[in-house]
Amino acid sequence: MTENNKKIYTISIIGGTGKEGKGLAYRWLLAGHRVIIGSRKFEKAQKAVNELLDFMGERTDRLVGMENREAVEAGDIAVVSVPYAAHRPTLEDLQDALQGKIVIDVVVPIVPPKVTKVQMPPAGSAAQEAQEILGDGCQVVDAFQNISHERLLGKGDTDCDVLVCGKGKAAREVVLGLVADTGLKGWDAGPIENAVVVEGLTSILIGLNIQHKVHASGIRITGIPDQD
């Protein structure tokens, strides 16, 4: 579906009850997309929907809650936003339903308690792990690892860039469009193998947050002229 020459998607956020998931949902709703908050339990998904509607101060039928599998089946694009401990079991459970879709993986392989130490999985990154689990029937794209939920849920300038890497340039272009819809500047960071750098940056940003007593440090790409 398109509105004013802009494609409108139904975006299913798996594990969308967390702060990052709700932050992305908020931004995409503002941009006119339809969003499904997914959870293992419908009641938890609906609670997150109500919290987000209260935050927005308005009601909309473009936001609904469903169980994860139902959410994936009803959506055009799936976003994985779960704690890393739930990453593999969630994807294995939904592997069949995710076939044929672009899967945006926002998960970072953070392993408490050493959250400021980069600890990548054997596959190389969470995104590569997802691609291995889901197989060639899906296109996994890594994005939004270096943006905090505080910025997503803020009312002002997001003041942060997003590196996008993953399988297939066409899939990355779709995700870059969705990044722009959040008000962030996206950059094509290349193939999925580069996700190790993008995901690893999150632990460094957490360390900087702790050192400087802030909550929302991010990254900016400099030295490239604005081509807009």
Residue range 31-82, pLDDT digits in tens: 999 999 999 999 999 999 999 999 999 889 999 999 999 999 999 999 999 9
Give the chain's domain count. 1
In a domain, residue 152? The reply is yes
In a domain, residue 223? The reply is no
d(CA 223, CA 45): 42
Would you say 150 and 205 are in contact if contact means Cβ atoms under 8 Å apart? no
In a domain, residue 228? The reply is no
In a domain, residue 226? The reply is no
d(CA 178, CA 32): 11
d(CA 222, CA 226): 10
Instruction: Report the CATH number that the domain containing residue 138 is assigned in CATH.
Output: 3.40.50.720
pLDDT digits (tens, 9 = 90+) for 154-182: 866 677 899 999 989 999 999 999 999 99
pTM, 2 dp: 0.94
pLDDT digits (tens, 9 = 90+) for 175-216: 999 999 999 999 999 999 999 999 999 999 999 999 999 888
Predicted pLDDT of residue 4: 62
Kindly tell me if the per-residue pLDDT of 228 is higher than 60: no
Predicted pLDDT of residue 5: 67
What's the angle, vertex CA 214, arms to CA 125 and CA 211, rounded to 5?
75
In a domain, residue 217? The reply is no
In a domain, residue 220? The reply is no
Using CA atoms, how far residue 113 sits from 34, 35, 105, 210, in Å, is 36, 33, 22, 14
Domain that holds residue 111: 2-212
- Closest listed residue to residue 202, CA positions, set 160, 139, 157: 160
Would you say 147 and 220 are in contact if contact means Cβ atoms under 8 Å apart? no
Burial state string for 67-88 with b = 16 or more CB within 10 A and e = fewer than 16: ebbbbbbebbbbbbbbebeebb
At 65 the three-state DSSP class reads strand
d(CA 224, CA 98): 36
Kindly tell me if the per-residue pLDDT of 3 is higher than 80: no
Report the share of the chain in percent with pLDDT over 90: 84
Predicted pLDDT of residue 216: 86
Backbone φ, ψ for residue 56 (5° rounding):
-75, -25
Kindly state the average pLDDT of the residues 138-157. Answer: 87
In a domain, residue 219? The reply is no
In a domain, residue 221? The reply is no
Kindly tell me if the per-residue pLDDT of 6 is higher than 90: no
Strand ranges inside the chain, DSSP E:
2-3, 6-7, 10-14, 34-39, 63-67, 77-80, 102-105, 139-142, 161-166, 185-188
